[in-house]
């Protein structure tokens, strides 16, 4: 049977030290539940002695019923010259009411002398006594040996004495920390070897990512006997982050044959990774290995053609093992295979080769004119729909006019800029003419188009624009540059992206806006029935 590795998540404590990461108490409780479902063994909730929010979290966490995960509270050893039983920080740890506590202490002589400002012997005493005090309360005690690798480099004898003190105190696991994140995997292996010869206590690893080696260092530590790996979801953490558990866990299980989570739980990894980024209010990094949206995305025509024949030809694992999916991107690099793949994804069993070829030619032509379909799937789907000879669009533009006027009203002191748009569209045999004002020219155009369409298609009112991005494509050309507009629209839980490109920003916006509404009309079956209706979920 495969030996098993304990996973200790510190997203809620060390992870929140990352720039831009912040969780409310409610967020933290929800993340604990999610990590428990994923099967994480230990979840560090915070440092109750350092801030009231973490103390409140532990109060509320008592009500959680977890099936697997054990909650851990974090703190540090007692102060020099102090006694553990009267140390406010250690007493706060007891108050947190968890079965597991983790305390951090110094192992680098430089830190003992210059930062803690005490003697080397006094530091050993506070480590030993703090661990022993918490053990005497019947708790599972993990000891984080801060700066262990740097300390070992500076004074190996002292660094080893520091973990021996934790072992004498009775620590259940001693975690060697690469706090500054600059160690190499070969160094980690060597130091682990030496540490495991010095103490009988199980060892763990806590690595930071400053040399982009946190995952590699964690795996090297496991190879050298670490029984526990600490890290965070998506690698959140101070500076360049902590070791990313979303990479470590699948590497341990799928590549190195260790037992860690149940197989069924591993298949939830992508979902949990995205859930945590959602609550952190950070966009999920598409390039994250295993769990990122691009981790199994294929763009080049040759790769796609090969993956269609044989899925594993360009993938290191089956994405389903970590709950991710293969994606095929559409771009000027595509081959006919990309188009056929997309057609199948849309439920079109047979897209005639000639038509796939025509769609591909159109994609390449439009991309050369500044469109980009990779980030605008809805526009690409419309391209496929429009390739049918019998397709009749739900509306067609006859013309539009946009007026932007800046003037000073005598009654008010401020200058005002007014935007108004007039739109003429054809719906079936009817021609409608509307006008609307807006906060800017694009907004006015959007309002006027909606006004024209709502009487025929009330569902248009469901659509709201959630993001509007403008990109200048040939920067050197200044105000004559080609412009790409990408729009994200939403209705209920659904979101879709459309693109427009032109030398004129209003024109580019119009194309993306019109695509957005046309897409929703097809999706909600408001347009002429077509064998190519997009009634499949938006990928």
Number of residues that bind Zn ion (CB under 5 A): 1
Q: Which is nearer to Zn ion, 14 or 129 (CB)?
A: 14
3-state secondary structure of 178: strand
| Residue closer to Zn ion, measured from CB, 14 or 377 | 14
**CA distances for 436 relative to 193, 341, 440, 443, angstroms:** 73, 41, 11, 9
- 518 touching Zn ion, by CB under 5 A: no
Interface residues for Zn ion in 167-226 (CB under 5 A)?
Answer: none
Backbone angles phi, psi at 38, to 5 degrees: -70, -20
Question: Per this entry, what is the length of the chain?
Answer: 539
Please, which residue, 19 or 122, has the CB nearer to Zn ion? Answer: 19
Select from 11-19, 34-42, 167-175, 323-331 the region that touches Zn ion (CB under 5 A): 11-19
CB of 230 to Zn ion, least distance (A): 8
DSSP three-state, residue 360: helix
Q: In the sheet that 464-472 helps form, which strands lie side by side, from edge to edge?
A: 464-472, 483-491, 494-502
Q: Which is nearer to Zn ion, 14 or 27 (CB)?
A: 14
Helix H or strand E encompassing 466: strand 464-472
Which residues are CB-neighbours of 145 under 8 A, at least 6 positions away? 105, 107, 151, 159, 162, 163, 166, 174, 175, 176, 177
CB of 87 to Zn ion, least distance (A): 21
In the complex, the smallest distance separating the C-beta of residue 179 from Zn ion, rounded to whole angstroms, is 6
Shortest distance, position 118 Cβ to Zn ion, whole Å: 22
Residue 5 burial by Cβ neighbours in a 10 Å radius (0-12, 13-18, 19+): buried
Stretch that binds Zn ion, among 6-14, 113-121, 275-283, 464-472 (CB under 5 A): 6-14
Whether the CB-CB separation of 308 and 335 falls below 8 Å is answered with: no
Task: Give the residue with the Cβ less far from Zn ion, 145 or 445.
Answer: 145
Interatomic CA distance for residues 166 and 280, integer angstroms? 34
Binding track, positions 276-315, relative to Zn ion; x by CB under 5 A: ----------------------------------------
Q: Using CB under 5 A, which residues numbered 83 to 102 contact Zn ion?
A: none
- Cα 374 to its chain centre, rounded Å, is 19
| Binding to Zn ion in span 466-505, by CB under 5 A | none
Closest CB to Zn ion among 14 and 150? 14
Specify whether the CB–CB gap between 226 and 173 falls below 8 A: no
Closest separation between CB of residue 206 and Zn ion, Å?
Answer: 6
| C-beta separation of 214 from 241 below 8 A | yes
| CA atoms of 24 and 31, how far apart (whole Å) | 11
Which listed range, 8-16, 30-38, 219-227, 441-449, lies at the site for Zn ion (CB under 5 A)?
8-16
Q: Considering the rule CB under 5 A, would residue 14 count as an interface residue with Zn ion? A: yes
Considering the complex, what minimum distance in angstroms separates the CB of residue 459 from Zn ion? 50
**Closest residue to Zn ion in the complex (CB):** 14
Q: Which CB atom, from 11 or from 334, has the smaller least distance to Zn ion?
A: 11
- Range in contact with Zn ion (rule: CB under 5 A) among 10-18, 46-54, 218-226, 434-442: 10-18
Of 14 and 518, the one with the shorter C-beta distance to Zn ion is: 14
User: What is the C-alpha to C-alpha distance for residues 52 and 95, in angstroms, rounded to an integer?
Assistant: 13
Least distance in angstroms from the C-beta of 318 to Zn ion:
33
Nearer to Zn ion, 15 or 250 (CB): 15
DSSP tag of 201: S
φ, ψ for residue 354 (rounded to 5)?
A: -65, -40
CA-based max dimension of the chain: 91
Residues binding Zn ion (CB under 5 A): 14
């Amino acid at each position: 049977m495969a030996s098993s590795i304990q996973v200790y998540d510190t997203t809620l404590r060390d992870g929140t030290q990352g720039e831009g990461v912040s969780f409310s108490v409610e967020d933290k409780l929800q993340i604990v539940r999610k990590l428990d479902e994923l099967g994480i063994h230990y979840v560090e909730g915070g440092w109750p002695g350092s801030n009231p929010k973490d103390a409140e979290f532990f109060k509320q966490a008592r009500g959680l019923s977890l099936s697997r995960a054990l909650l851990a509270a974090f703190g540090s050893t007692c102060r020099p010259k102090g006694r553990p039983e009267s140390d406010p920080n250690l007493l706060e740890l007891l108050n947190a009411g968890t079965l597991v506590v983790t305390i951090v202490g110094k192992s680098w002589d430089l830190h003992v002398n210059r930062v803690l400002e005490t003697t080397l012997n006094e530091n050993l005493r506070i480590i030993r006594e703090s661990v022993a005090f918490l053990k005497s309360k019947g708790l599972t005690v993990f000891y984080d040996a801060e700066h262990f690798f740097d300390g070992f480099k500076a004074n190996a004898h002292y660094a080893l004495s520091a973990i021996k003190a934790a072992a004498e105190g009775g620590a259940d696991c001693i975690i060697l920390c690469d706090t500054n994140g600059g160690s190499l995997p070969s160094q980690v292996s060597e130091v682990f070897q030496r540490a495991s010869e010095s103490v009988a206590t199980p060892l763990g690893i806590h690595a930071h990512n400053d040399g982009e080696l946190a995952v590699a260092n964690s795996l090297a530590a496991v190879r050298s006997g670490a029984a526990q790996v600490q890290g965070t979801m998506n690698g959140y953490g101070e500076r360049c982050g902590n070791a990313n558990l979303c990479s470590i866990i699948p590497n341990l299980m799928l590549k190195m044959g260790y037992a860690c989570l149940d197989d069924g739980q591993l298949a939830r990894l992508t979902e949990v990774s995205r859930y945590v980024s959602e609550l952190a209010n950070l966009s999920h990094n598409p390039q994250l290995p295993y769990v990122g949206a691009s981790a199994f995305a294929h763009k080049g025509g040759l790769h796609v053609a090969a993956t269609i024949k044989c899925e594993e030809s360009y993938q290191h694992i089956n994405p389903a093992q970590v709950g991710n999916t293969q994606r095929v991107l559409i771009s000027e690099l595509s081959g006919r295979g990309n188009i056929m793949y997309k057609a199948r994804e849309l439920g079109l069993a047979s897209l005639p080769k000639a038509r796939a070829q025509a769609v591909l030619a159109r994609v390449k032509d439009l991309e050369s004119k500044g469109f980009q379909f990779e980030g605008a799937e809805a526009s690409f789907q419309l391209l496929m729909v429009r390739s049918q000879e019998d397709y009749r669009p739900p509306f067609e533009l006859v013309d539009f006019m946009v007026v932007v006027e800046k003037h000073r009203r005598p009654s008010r002191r401020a200058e005002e800029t007014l935007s108004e748009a007039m739109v003429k569209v054809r719906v079936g045999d009817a021609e409608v003419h509307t006008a609307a004002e807006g906060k800017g020219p694009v907004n006015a155009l959007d309002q006027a188009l909606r006004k024209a369409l709502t009487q025929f298609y009330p569902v248009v009112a469901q659509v709201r624009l959630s993001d509007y991005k403008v990109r200048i494509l040939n920067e050197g050309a200044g105000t004559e540059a080609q412009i790409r507009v990408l729009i994200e629209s939403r209705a209920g839980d659904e979101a879709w992206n459309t693109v427009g490109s032109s030398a004129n920003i209003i024109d580019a916006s119009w194309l993306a806006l019109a695509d957005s509404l046309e897409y929703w009309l097809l999706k909600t079956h408001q347009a002429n029935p077509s064998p190519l209706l997009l009634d499949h979920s938006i990928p």
